[in-house]
């Protein structure tokens, strides 16, 4: 597809920096062989896959104040070390936390966690509506950051959303009213978040669901059965 990627080495795969084309210290290019066809993949798709691909493997160490240094092996399709160095790859990979935050903003903050459409067409409309709203909010945040000498990532998405909703519900939100709009941008710039370098979180659910069955029919039917 022509899309480059960076991801951590799978724990089940061995990495031997003595093999392959050496690019630098613990930095080399190796050939990955196509594995056997998995059960879930159809034969046509499997046959379209290349029999082998060139992959770059590197070992990087992340140093954070107050924490132990962390060494990991990254795998990437950026094969040219002069265009993309090890430090570049380490920096890009460390930005993956922003992806987690963006997905959380779209799914949880904008309440796209549960899609309510009943047909594929409505599901597509629902997703695009959420993405449109997300991009519009990010646009306003970028304007606020530019005017008030801040980085867009320093501003809270949730705080910006709440302020935009407050201005809109009061009936004064309009880009044509410069005074009000600049007041909104100034208020948004004050909603900042703390520094979170190298942030990582476990993929677990903090709060357990309540031990009750899901509602499968109208509420009045449950009440009727209880009376009976």
Write out residues in the chain with pLDDT < 50, as ranges: 228
- Can you give the three-state secondary structure of the chain, one letter per residue? CCCCCEEECCCCCCCCCCCCEEEECCEEEEEEECCCCCCCCCHHHHHHCCCEEEEEEEEEEECCCCCCCEEEEEEECCCCCCCCCHHHHHHHHHCHHHHHHHHHHHHHHCCCCCCCCCCHHHHHHHHHHHHHHHHHHHHHHHHHHHHCCCCHHHECHHHHHHHHHHHHHCCCCCCCCHHHHHHHHHHHHCCECCCCCCCCCCCCCCCCCCCCCCCCCCHHHHHHHHHC
pLDDT of 199: 64
Q: What confidence score (pLDDT) does residue 228 get?
A: 47
pLDDT confidence of residue 226: 64
What pLDDT is stored for residue 69 in this prediction?
A: 82
């Amino acid at each position: 597809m022509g899309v480059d990627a960076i991801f951590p080495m799978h724990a089940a795969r061995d990495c031997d920096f003595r093999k392959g084309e050496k690019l630098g210290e613990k930095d080399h290019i190796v050939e990955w062989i196509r594995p056997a066809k998995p059960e879930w993949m159809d034969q046509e798709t499997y046959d379209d896959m290349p029999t082998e691909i060139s992959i770059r493997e590197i070992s990087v160490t992340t140093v954070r104040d107050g924490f132990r240094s962390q060494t990991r092996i990254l795998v990437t399709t950026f094969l040219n070390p002069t265009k993309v160095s090890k430090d570049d790859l380490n920096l890009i990979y460390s930005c993956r936390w922003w992806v987690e935050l963006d997905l959380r903003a779209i799914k949880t903050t904008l309440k796209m966690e549960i899609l309510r459409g009943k047909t594929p067409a409505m599901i597509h409309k629902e997703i695009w509506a959420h993405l449109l709203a997300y991009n519009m909010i990010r646009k306003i945040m970028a304007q606020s950051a530019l005017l008030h000498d801040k980085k867009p990532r320093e501003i809270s998405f949730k705080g910006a959303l709440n302020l935009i909703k407050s201005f809109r519900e009061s009936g004064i939100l309009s880009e044509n009213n410069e005074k009000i709009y600049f007041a909104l941008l100034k208020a948004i710039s004050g909603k900042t978040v703390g520094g979170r370098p190298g942030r990582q979180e476990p993929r677990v659910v903090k709060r357990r669901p309540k031990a009750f069955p899901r509602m499968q029919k109208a509420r009045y039917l449950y009440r009727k059965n209880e009376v009976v």
